[in-house]
Amino acid sequence: MHIHELKRKHPLKKKRQVGRGGKRGKTSGRGTKGQKARAGGKLRPELRDIIKKLPKKRGYRFNIIPGSLVAVANISALEKAFSSGEVVTREALVEKKIVRRVSGKIPAIKILGSGTLTKKLTIKGLAVSASAKEKVEKVGGSITA
């Protein structure tokens, strides 16, 4: 046994910690004075002010509901593009450049009754307004789902 290996029978009593937290006296590691030294003193986050200054754009937070985009084709456009006896489909309308693709897909299409129709057409798989339906059937055309 060496002197450095000896242990006391009764170890030293540790210093008593104070209620406000021991090992930190007076300023408790907060430095001196100022907003940060006070109880409850908080600084506003700097980044928040920068974010708040950014312009709010229309539609920010709102995505377009899928299926809500409906392309419109009038009877007058069908009169110009199609010949008598032809079948009007979504693909045919895109081919004849009456309707454009949206994000590479053909949107839902509705035929409206604006204009006059003299050609007999068959409309397949398209939504048709009441006035357009009347005009197509008047000429002798048909509408199928």
Q: Which domain holds residue 113?
A: 71-144
Our count of domains for the chain comes to 1
Burial label, 87 (beta-carbon count in 10 A; 0-12, 13-18, 19+): middle
Whether pLDDT at 21 is above 80: no
Q: Is residue 48 part of a domain?
A: no
Give pLDDT tens digits for 29-53.
888 888 888 888 888 888 888 888 8
Q: Is residue 102 part of a domain?
A: yes
CATH number of the structural domain spanning residue 84? 3.100.10.10
pTM value surpassing 0.85: no
Q: Is residue 14 part of a domain?
A: no
Whether pLDDT at 131 is above 70: yes
Q: Is residue 49 part of a domain?
A: no
Q: Is residue 110 part of a domain?
A: yes
Q: Is residue 10 part of a domain?
A: no
Q: Is residue 18 part of a domain?
A: no
Which of the two residues, 79 and 103, has the higher pLDDT score? 79
